Amino acid sequence: MARIDVPDGEGLEAARMWQLAPHMGKGVHAMSEAVYVQSTLSIREREVARMRVAQLNQCVV
């Protein structure tokens, strides 16, 4: 659950959140596209990298 007021509407809360700052949403989308679509890493390598980053940031993995 978000800690900010997210616009009501259809779709996922995360997608609706970017309606608050569409210019930033475009940048986040471009980064996600680069990481998930254009990556040279295999899925397994990418996921272990994500897990390590989460661990370093003290997130629950």
Instruction: Kindly state the tokens that stand for 25.
Output: 């949403």
pLDDT tens track for 39-61: 899 999 999 999 999 999 999 87
pLDDT, residue 7, reads 82
Q: Tell me the whole-structure pTM to 2 decimals.
A: 0.52
